[in-house]
Amino acid sequence: MASLVAYDDSDSEAETEPVGGFTAAGQMKDTSDVVRPCGRDFPSRVLDVSEGGALPTKHSSCEDPAGQRLPLARLWRSDPGSCPSQRLQWPRTEPEVTCPTSEHPHSSLWAGHALAGHMSVAAARFKQVKLSRGMHNFPEPSFCAQTKSETPGHNGNSLQRKRREDCIVPYTPKRLREPQALSTETGKSKDVGTQGPSAGQAPAPLCVAPRVSEFIQPYLDTQYKETEIPRKVLFHLRGHRGPVNSIQWCPVFSKSHMLLSASMDKTFKVWNAVDSGRCLQTYSLHSEAVRAARWSPCGQRLLSGGFDCALHLTDLETGTQLFSGQSNFRVTTLKFHPKDHSLFVCGGFSSEIKAWDIRTGKVVRSYKATIQQTLDILFLQEGSEFLSSTDASSRDSADRTIIAWDFQSSAKISNQIFHERYTCPSLALHPREPVFLAQTNGNYLALFSAVWPYRMSRRRRYEGHKVEGYSVGCECSPDGELLVTGSADGRVLLYCFRTASRARTLYGHAQACVGTTFHPVLPSVLATCSWEGDIKIWH
């Protein structure tokens, strides 16, 4: 047997940092933002939050792996950051977490399994002992010996065991040191991952509730009736560490208890905004602000785009990336095609609007205009045409502020739609009449015809709110009788569609309210989001 030569190489092995225990920060209880829903809007058994935070077991219970029904109050105590009756300190200085730090991370709300690759706290407290030439007969932890024995080849295991018995540190070639360093860094990243998801990391699977929400179930088999004006706050959702850009209810009625929110804190979240008001999952796939996030029409996928020019299509239940693309501009708006759900249109800080095909992962069409930025996109005529609002405006007119496109040929249909000197940060389609709304920086909502030549109504104008440069959104109620819009001063204004008179003003946010959306099933539920980073559910 050839003699062994020992070298003193300090880079041959790397020490792992000890991982200590974590403790959850105490939270202050506050039930001022939670109100009892009206009995005529919801079923007779409605949500009731007591002083201790407990909920009726029949309404807020969930299945654990043993088949027992656990109240949501127990889950709220394990995750106080998402409980509607407990306020978070704002802004938060610690990094955002998606699972309780004092316990093992759970894969979902309804299942309590730990994440794959999770190391127990007892094993993480060990520290690897660095071998040197002056140490003899020191016992080693079992997991350290197992790590060192995991080298390529069967002969390497016996050879390393012989060298360890002789207390000789062998020379490790550079080509073998690089994989060891990578494996050590991967182990450290797993420990850091317990504190919060990093950019590009696949989130844990989200198990969708097997049954429909008890609040939504009575409205599924009936036709949508008159929308009732909300008056009080049902939930106050706090979890984002930056402004919330957009919110959207799940378009599938049976899953419409879930709310999607995109934020400038580089994340987008899924909330249970009807039953419990807790965060179901946080997605940290972008390295910059997430400007747009949309549900797929099937309600099983999430499409997101941000200032990092990245596009991601995430499966809701498995957390896998079904599509990832890289645009050449910062993304500000995304819309799925209403008929072909494998196509979506994306716009942003560019003179082009691009249509992507998820099946091939490539751009299939480009729509070019002499503009600098696309603010919003709205499909018309069941997807054969779409509108784009841009930042193109001059002192006297707003030529090319709203452009109508033919989706198939990429040709312009009209660019002389809006003739006033204001830009339009958002567009909304009326659900029952061939008209659409445009939010303008002139502090009013303009009404247009949704068929060529897209004439603007001179008689009907919705005024009273402020835009002041924010991307303030607007929307129609499902029955088309009410319009809702945010305001730069934090107000939420509701208008009667027929008369353009103001129906109600809600004072809900301290900063600009930039997103408003009616629930597609419940007749009196409204969600709003603001520039301060919070979301409110009104009833």
ω into 425 cis (within 30 of 0): no
Average pLDDT over residues 430-459: 95
Q: What is the C-alpha to C-alpha distance for residues 533 and 456, in angstroms, rounded to an integer? A: 34
For residue range 306-318, what is the model confidence (pLDDT) as tens digits?
Answer: 999 999 999 998 8
Go through the chain and tell me how many residues it has.
539
For residue range 366-423, what is the model confidence (pLDDT) as tens digits?
Answer: 999 888 899 999 999 899 999 999 987 655 555 789 999 999 999 999 988 998 889 9
pLDDT at 211: 78
Q: What is the C-alpha to C-alpha distance for residues 262 and 292, in angstroms, rounded to an integer? A: 6
CA–CA distances in Å: residue 502 to residues 90, 168, 417, 496: 33, 84, 26, 6
Q: What is the CA radius of gyration of the chain?
A: 28
For residue range 479-506, what is the model confidence (pLDDT) as tens digits?
Answer: 999 999 999 999 999 999 999 999 999 9
Supply φ then ψ for residue 101, to 5 degrees: -80, -15
Please write down the HEC assignment for all residues of 33-101. CCCCCCCCCCCCCCCCCCCCCCCCHHHHEEECCCCCEEEHHHHHHHCHHHCCCEECCCCCCCCCCCCCC
pLDDT at 80: 42
pLDDT at 516: 97
Q: What is the C-alpha to C-alpha distance for residues 382 and 315, in angstroms, rounded to an integer? A: 26
- State the chain's maximal CA–CA distance in angstroms: 99
Q: Would you state the structure tokens that stand for residue 515, as one six-digit string?
A: 């997103």
Which of 166-170, 237-241, 297-301, 502-506 comes out lowest in average pLDDT?
A: 166-170
Which of 86-95, 104-113, 207-216, 320-329 comes out lowest in average pLDDT?
A: 104-113
**Angle of CA points 269, 324, 253, to nearest 5°:** 45
pLDDT at 318: 86
Q: What percent of the chain shows pLDDT beyond 90?
A: 54
Which of 110-124, 211-225, 315-329 comes out lowest in average pLDDT?
A: 110-124
- The mean pLDDT value of the chain amounts to 74
DSSP per residue over 422-489, as a string? Answer: ---SEEEE-SSSSEEEEEETTTEEEEEESSTT-PEEEEEEEES---TTS---EEE-TTSSEEEEE-TT
pLDDT of residue 240 exceeding 60, the answer is: yes
**Tokens 């009013």 map to which residue?**
444
pLDDT at 176: 60
Average pLDDT over residues 243-272: 96
pLDDT at 261: 97
pLDDT at 270: 96
* SS3 label, residue 106: strand
Q: What is the C-alpha to C-alpha distance for residues 335 and 380, in angstroms, rounded to an integer? A: 12
**Tokens 């729509």 map to which residue?**
367
CA–CA distances in Å: residue 83 to residues 52, 105, 153, 273, 274: 12, 17, 52, 11, 13
Stronger pLDDT, 20 or 331, i.e. the higher one: 331
Stronger pLDDT, 112 or 265, i.e. the higher one: 265
Q: How confident is the model at residue 90 (pLDDT cuts 50, 70, 90)?
A: very low
For residue range 5-40, what is the model confidence (pLDDT) as tens digits?
Answer: 444 444 434 344 444 443 433 344 443 443 344 444
Categorise residue 530: left if φ over 0, alpha if ψ from -120 to 50, beta otherwise: beta
Stronger pLDDT, 94 or 296, i.e. the higher one: 296
Q: Return contacts of 114-120, CB within 8 angstroms, 24+ apart.
A: 115/204, 117/190, 118/194, 119/19, 119/190, 119/191
ω into 91 cis (within 30 of 0): yes
pLDDT of residue 433 exceeding 80, the answer is: yes
Average pLDDT over residues 325-338: 95
Supply φ then ψ for residue 175, to 5 degrees: -70, -20
CB–CB of 118/99 below 8 Å?
A: no
CA–CA distances in Å: residue 61 to residues 109, 113, 213: 11, 18, 11
pLDDT of residue 529 exceeding 60, the answer is: yes
Q: Would you state the structure tokens that stand for residue 498, as one six-digit string?
A: 């027929």
CB–CB of 90/81 below 8 Å?
A: no
Average pLDDT over residues 257-266: 96
Average pLDDT over residues 334-361: 95
Q: Return contacts of 116-122, CB within 8 angstroms, 24+ apart.
A: 117/190, 118/194, 119/19, 119/190, 119/191, 121/19, 121/21
Q: How confident is the model at residue 258 (pLDDT cuts 50, 70, 90)?
A: very high
pLDDT at 179: 53
Q: Quote helix, strand, coil % in the chain, to nearest 5.
A: 10, 30, 55
CA–CA distances in Å: residue 70 to residues 46, 60, 112, 209: 18, 8, 11, 14
Q: What is the C-alpha to C-alpha distance for residues 311 and 157, in angstroms, rounded to an integer? A: 45
Average pLDDT over residues 107-111: 34
Residue 513, CB-side half-sphere exposure with 13 Å CA sphere: 25
For residue range 174-224, what is the model confidence (pLDDT) as tens digits?
Answer: 556 655 554 544 444 333 333 334 455 666 677 665 678 999 999 998 888
pLDDT of residue 122 exceeding 90, the answer is: no
